[in-house]
Structure 1
Amino acid sequence: MSYRSTVSRQPEALADSLAAAQAELAGLDLAPLGTGLVAVTGVGASSAAAVVVAAELQRRGRRAFAVRSGEMMAGHDLADIVLALSHRGRSVETVEALRKLPRAKSLAITNDSESPLAEAASFHVRLANGGDATPSSTGYTATLLVAGLAVDGIQGASGADWAGLPAQAAALLAGAAEKMPRLAQLFADRRAIDCVGAGASIGTADGASLLIREAARIPASGYETRHYLHGPMESMDETTGVVLFGDTREIELAHNLEEIGVPVLLVTSRQDIGDAGKRTVIHVPEAENLILRGILDIFAAQLLAAELSDAADLTDVQFRYKQTDTKILAA
């Protein structure tokens, strides 16, 4: 299945995952996950998603943090609760993280209820996004959606319009697609691309940088906004590009970068800023729920990665480096 085709399937994949997860959650009593310190974990794109989910838990008043699963494999008693994210549920590090913390209550979110991660967890909720491609598109957003529903199940309803998400996804993808010819020209032949955001958007920036690395093989990195101001941005110039996610300091940062000739994509809910010079703006709806906002923000990055992949003649090219020790094979 091609990358572009899975991105275009986002509305359907989100609708299917919404229905499946709501049905499963209706039959689960998540009260045991209601107190204690929460670790949200995953590897790769799931690690980026974990940052978004942990930020929403913090916003809701929970003590929570994101941690890569490889950092939990030593078995240190880091948390009372573990939310484990893995699309297929076969990531060695994430499964091992749960196995090394048998006293912690855990919730796994995967697309396979018989996966090793599902079997290792106290609770499991299934995705229903269908097939995914490399880099991950529907798997990433479905993971966030189901995590958002699970957080609501643990903490109480947040008021997020999950039912309206598939229609929002369709509208945002259509709007972002109109900006892609401009972005393809401005971001052509970049030697490096930085992705930047604050709070939950640190995870979105990390996920976006991974998309660009995987799809277009362009060196890309994710940074927290305020940290980026303290030196990392100094290497950026007219031969690079920056993708910004946010509504506050990111606006001024977009101006700073454009002034020195850096092409910028700004994904923001602010309506008082638009395209100018080398700055391209994609507007998204405001969302108090940080997981919902993380889903809305990533669509632009997915489409940009597809554009850069096409420009590099890498459309749907598979990974060059084959790993033999990162997935638990099916029996």
Structure 2
Amino acid sequence: MKRIDYDTAVRDQPSALERAHRSIAHALAESAIEPWRAGDTVAVVAMGASTHSAHALVFALLGSGVRAFSLTASDASLCAPDTQPADHYVIVSESGRSPEPIEAARRFTPGRRIGITNVADSPLAAEVDVVLPLGDVDDSGVYTVGYTATLLAYAMLCEHVIGMPVGDTAAIPARVASALSSFDGGAQIVAERLSAARTVDFVGRGTSLAAASEGALMFREALALPTAAFDTYQYLHGPMEPLREHSALVVFGDERELSLVDSVLDSGVQVCLVTQRPLADLARPNHENLVVISIAADVAGFERSIHEALVPQLIVGHAAARMGRRPGEFTYRQPDTKIPIS
């Protein structure tokens, strides 16, 4: 894997996802994964962007009747010695070199550890029982394809282990190409309108919390903008109060999210709504402070999580160009967030 330009990584996701699909499918066919039985609990263990992707897997599993939760990898060290917080573990690190997931894997039950990483021979791979490699795809410093490929891996894993209906995962790369084209115009308008924003809030519920959380991280990493991410209903209980004229809001969802959006439009807040609901269902779809980015009605499950993630990726690209920033060039570098390559 090598680091490539951000815009190239975003644009080339369809071909990279095709490569990832082949790699994941081969690994699943060759691997013996301990069955997830009724009553078992699955922990998704990660750091950084991978932690945000975990929302998609956790809520998909909960919706299928499987106990699941997200465990920040660094928090695994807080568990009492010789205790196991879950029955099965999905341990995620795109680089495979983040020390916290590696150390967490060492603590967990042998035979119950599935690792998802872009690099098949990474340090993480040596500490898990089954590796689902993303194909060593090239990625940007602010992760793009590694993030969406992880979501693809979740879909394929759930289909393989519990028979979750996830649709035709092989068709996802081509549909991502279509979505990138469809979303780009709206993303460019949003980037223009956010040029005066001092803070940006991201809001979503359930699996859409993945895109909200990841979007907030990307804006902080790539644009150096203060952001926060919230569950939709939590946001209503106070966190939305600071919204003012120089605030921006990116909302993912089809239900309570619509009235939330409408309630702030007259305050001068610049809003982007990512939804499957038709414009006719919105109270004021043509309001001057609102941009709606529509997800196709037949996109569901993990594929929808992938499409939702494309929106902040595209907005970041356009906003960075306007601001003269290069995503992936960080001001602050911490020497202990990755194990050095030997």
Which residue of 12, 18, 23 corresponds with 1:20?
A: 23
- Distance in 2, matches of 1:310 and 1:267, equals 22
Corresponding residue of 2:160: 153
> Structure 1 residues 104, 71: closer, same or farther in 2, change over 3 A?
farther
Q: Where do residues 88-237 of structure 1 align in structure 2 (5 Å cutoff)?
A: 88-103=95-110, 105-128=112-135, 130-237=137-244
Matches within 5 A, 1:274-289: 274-286=285-297
Contact 1:30 1:154 in 2 (8 A): yes
Residue 29 of structure 1: aligned partner: 32
1:140 Cα deviation from its structure 2 partner: 0.3
Which amino acid in structure 1 is aligned with residue 95 of structure 2?
A: R
**How far apart are residue 312 of structure 1 and its match?**
2.1
Identity %: 31
Counterpart residue identity of residue 330, structure 2: F
Instruction: Quote the Cα distance in structure 2 between the aligned partners of 1:31 and 1:80.
Output: 10
TM-score (norm 2): 0.92
- 2-side partners of 1:207 and 1:21: how far apart? 23
SS in 1 for 2:45: strand
| Partners of 1:288 and 1:169 in 2: CA distance | 11
Q: 1:49 to 1:159 in 2, by over 3 A?
A: closer
Distance 1:173 1:129, change over 3 A: farther
**Residue in 2 aligned with 1:59?**
63
Structure 1: state its 5+ residue gaps: none
1:6 counterpart residue number: 9
Q: Is the 8 A contact 1:134 1:214 kept in 2?
A: no
Unaligned runs of 5+ in 2: none
Aligned position for 1:49: 53
- Supply the distance in 2 between the matched residues of 1:287 and 1:323 (Cα, whole angstroms): 42
Q: Distance in 2 between matches of 1:56 and 1:181?
A: 31
Between 272-281 and 89-98, report the one with greater CA deviation: 272-281
Aligned equivalents of 2:113, 2:297: Cα separation in 1: 31
Q: How far did residue 295 of structure 1 move?
A: 0.5
Give the Cα–Cα distance (whole angstroms) in 2 for the partners of residues 283 and 121 of structure 1.
Answer: 39
TM-score, scaled to structure 1: 0.95
Instruction: Give the total of aligned pairs.
Output: 331
Deviations 1:18-58 (A, max 9, x none): 11111221122324344521100111100001111111111
Cα 1:8–1:94, aligned 2, differ >3 Å: closer, same or farther?
same
Change (3 A) 1:105 1:167: same
- 2:308 equivalent to 1:297: yes
